[in-house]
Structure 1
């Protein structure tokens, strides 16, 4: 029979353990610093995109045909030169660091204070270029890097381990970026740790609270997209709701598959071209994104948050093919190699699907509900994390009355996506780990005489596809596919330890 807790004895033990309180103080200070980092990132990204909008509005917007390739090429060059670990979304990097096989020397390639700082600057440069990227995924890597750096002040026998710090940082990043604390908790469980240990739950919640408070103190405690008002859905609205969920499931699955192929398949002809001429490749894709932006009247530039707000308010001014063109612009922006996320662009694509369905059925009463469901469904299909997706959208639109509808649309879309594509972030994380491990054992490449902006002569300059290109194709295939733990996680059977 278990003995009842002795309150006064336990209180005395807590007070007397000064080392534990010192460690807690350090961790809480870093949690606040993580929140401030996300706030600084938000302000810098918004200012950068505001400057791009002034460039676009000047002289008919044609200047972006030169501006976007130039700024994008500079950002890709800087990323490859000084912070290759900052490329991409940032969520796969954090997932990669949580693998049990990753040691300290490998972990610093994915999270560190330098990478957090680089992520803020380089992602903001992507917004300055007008690319279709988001800041929410990068916020995860930024906050995780800041929280992870607290480990240096903790003793070797500390109960607060590296795994807990990384999960808490990633959760705090999502919570602060979206002003969605519940989404941060669910994201930590569903996407990062796969389970929530009781000894880590307090740290995660504390990090979310402090990081969230930093954001609220600057931006106010407001919903990301305001509060939507919708009439009660009836059985007559079932078909439009199913149409949104099914369409988003298929499109999101295709998007995840396309992203995985583009970012991991080094045998493709275009990826070989990217590996050989990365700067020119980035400039060419940026030119295509600029043309798409001009065709859509600027609607596809940036994260797309303003377009979503207009749709929810019934003032949508997006072009007829917004969903298709935003889909392409977001894919190309991710393929470019500039640090940037896909959360916010995915929400805008899903909102476009909901808006299109509402227009087809000719209803305005349930249009906001269809738009919100489209946001949750497309994000769930891309990430295959339905709980995180519907809670993010619920908190962003203050849509507690739509909980069941958002949950159902996210679950349906995620289920369809799993029939089409592997989990996106898991696949990218596994690819990054294989590349990082391969680069640690490969000999240094011989010095080349090639000069110019595309020449990369140092190992630190190599991006993932460059390193994998030097491995035999069969070896890469075995490394990528023969991963029983990863396959089990994809099936949802084996939790990450």
Structure 2
């Protein structure tokens, strides 16, 4: 390479300094590219949902044909053209961070997988899947930085971790949550050697989003507060309810991901496309039965519930739960972050019929955070991300308490968070391909 030829004419210290500056430059440049990718995926997700509404505008029964066919085609692409692009994408990144060398990581976070994630995720949203873009953005961000890291001196998983955390920060416009997510959920250990570089990548991604989209909060600013006294009873009630629901969601997804036993499980393994079609039929039927827009990310619906703007559709949460669960077990590429927040908001909205003395805004924020905690069992990330997305600092203490309660409630249903449990399946598959290489344990 040109750099290597130039470095030969320098002293040892100068060579090391040059390589370190190059690495810093690549981290920042990669953060900019990840920010651009996050913006692209956000725009594609919005347009895909608009296209689904346009396609189903003549009659909602159009979804009975569109959604199953779309699910089948998306799964066909995921299996035949873009393997390892299925599902959220976060488990693939976690698994890649645990693998010991580039050769094993590449199938999980290659640029081909990242491209497939964008294409098939968009296709799923066009066809009415109840999926999000934030999880896929993590895998795409990881893929971008993994590719850039191949050119960097001192190769290490820090590039992959930086890309994934920058993806979270840019997707939600929550830089602090990106850092916390990287520590608590992706790496579960903080390597001080690369901490500054990772933060630099997050800043670059955030500034890119800020320059193009402007300063915004994901769900808008709220002024919800929970007064001391009887209103605090909502914290354990809502946290346990939503934590159990999130744990149930994870348990069912893990059952299907690991493979059901018996004849049914064997049929699903042999016919993944046909099973995806059946799941698509279920999603379409749930949409017709609910009478509310349960397809898509759920961002608009959650925002409407938070701000109590024309939202009389009680029962949204359970129906969104069904649609998201079917979308997840189908295996098509798509995230669960945004749908989980929407489910939590919907469940909290239904609880407001009973908990009438509690401010609806406070109740909804607790429900969103508690359900997300129940699914991923990352309580710190959950309360930080909800706080940053709504710019509501008055709710930090109630959200922290609810996160801890929801986390314990979820563990009654399932012992481990969804992303890490799914990552173990990818690690097991990699171990079968490379029996001589053991994953990194932390």
Is 1:222 the counterpart of 2:198? The answer is: no
Give per-residue Cα distances to partners, 1:453-481, cap 9 Å, x unaligned. xxxxxxxxxxxxxxxxxxxxxxxxxxxxx
Give per-residue Cα distances to partners, 1:308-335, cap 9 Å, x unaligned. 1111121353643322221111111011
Give the aligned partner of residue 289 of structure 1: 283
1:180 counterpart (174, 196, 217)? 174
- Is this contact kept in 1: 2:84–2:107, CA < 8 A? yes
Deviation at 1:103, TM superposition (A): 2.7
Deviation at 1:432, TM superposition (A): 1.3
Structure 1 vs Structure 2 CA RMSD:
2.0
- Is this contact kept in 1: 2:375–2:410, CA < 8 A? yes
Deviation at 1:297, TM superposition (A): 2.4
Local SS of the residue matching 1:361 = coil
Structure 1: gaps (5+ residues): 1-12, 442-482, 487-495
Is 1:366 the counterpart of 2:359? The answer is: yes
Give the aligned partner of residue 48 of structure 1: 48
Deviation at 1:183, TM superposition (A): 0.4
- Is this contact kept in 2: 1:240–1:357, CA < 8 A? no
- Is this contact kept in 1: 2:314–2:346, CA < 8 A? no
Local SS of the residue matching 1:302 = coil
- Is this contact kept in 2: 1:188–1:194, CA < 8 A? yes
Structure 1 residues 227 and 268 mapped into 2: Cα distance closer, same or farther (>3 Å)? farther
Is 1:326 the counterpart of 2:320? The answer is: yes
Local SS of the residue matching 2:26 = helix
Is 1:89 the counterpart of 2:88? The answer is: yes
Equivalences for residues 57-72 of structure 1 within 5 A? 57=57, 59-72=58-71
Q: How many angstroms apart in 1 are the aligned matches of 2:420 and 2:299?
A: 26
Give the aligned partner of residue 417 of structure 2: 423
Give the aligned partner of residue 339 of structure 1: 333
Structure 1 residues 316 and 371 mapped into 2: Cα distance closer, same or farther (>3 Å)? farther
Equivalences for residues 12-411 of structure 1 within 5 A? 17-57=17-57, 59-99=58-98, 101-155=99-153, 158=154, 161-315=155-309, 317=311, 319-363=313-357, 366-411=359-404
- Is this contact kept in 1: 2:318–2:347, CA < 8 A? no
Q: How many angstroms apart in 2 are the aligned matches of 1:113 and 1:220?
A: 28
Q: How many angstroms apart in 2 are the aligned matches of 1:52 and 1:33?
A: 28
- Is this contact kept in 2: 1:148–1:162, CA < 8 A? no
Structure 2: gaps (5+ residues): 1-12
Structure 1 residues 429 and 236 mapped into 2: Cα distance closer, same or farther (>3 Å)? same
Give per-residue Cα distances to partners, 1:173-220, cap 9 Å, x unaligned. 111111100100000110111121221111111111111112222222
Q: How many angstroms apart in 1 are the aligned matches of 2:195 and 2:433?
A: 35
Local SS of the residue matching 2:309 = coil
Local SS of the residue matching 1:226 = coil
Deviation at 1:397, TM superposition (A): 0.9
Q: How many angstroms apart in 1 are the aligned matches of 2:310 and 2:420?
A: 35
Q: Report which of the two structures shows the higher radius of gyration computed on alpha carbons.
A: 1
- Is this contact kept in 1: 2:226–2:398, CA < 8 A? no
Q: How many angstroms apart in 1 are the aligned matches of 2:156 and 2:290?
A: 46
- Is this contact kept in 1: 2:131–2:339, CA < 8 A? yes
Structure 1 residues 299 and 263 mapped into 2: Cα distance closer, same or farther (>3 Å)? same
Deviation at 1:81, TM superposition (A): 0.9
- Is this contact kept in 1: 2:173–2:217, CA < 8 A? yes
- Is this contact kept in 2: 1:168–1:208, CA < 8 A? yes
Give per-residue Cα distances to partners, 1:292-311, cap 9 Å, x unaligned. 11222242111111111111
- Is this contact kept in 1: 2:22–2:152, CA < 8 A? no
Q: How many angstroms apart in 2 are the aligned matches of 1:282 and 1:437?
A: 27
Q: How many angstroms apart in 2 are the aligned matches of 1:318 and 1:182?
A: 34
The aligned length equals: 427
Local SS of the residue matching 2:353 = helix
Using CA pairs under 8 Å that are at least 6 residues apart, name the structure with larger relative contact order, 1 or 2.
Answer: 2
Give the aligned partner of residue 445 of structure 1: none
Which range is displaced more, 185-194 or 24-33? 24-33
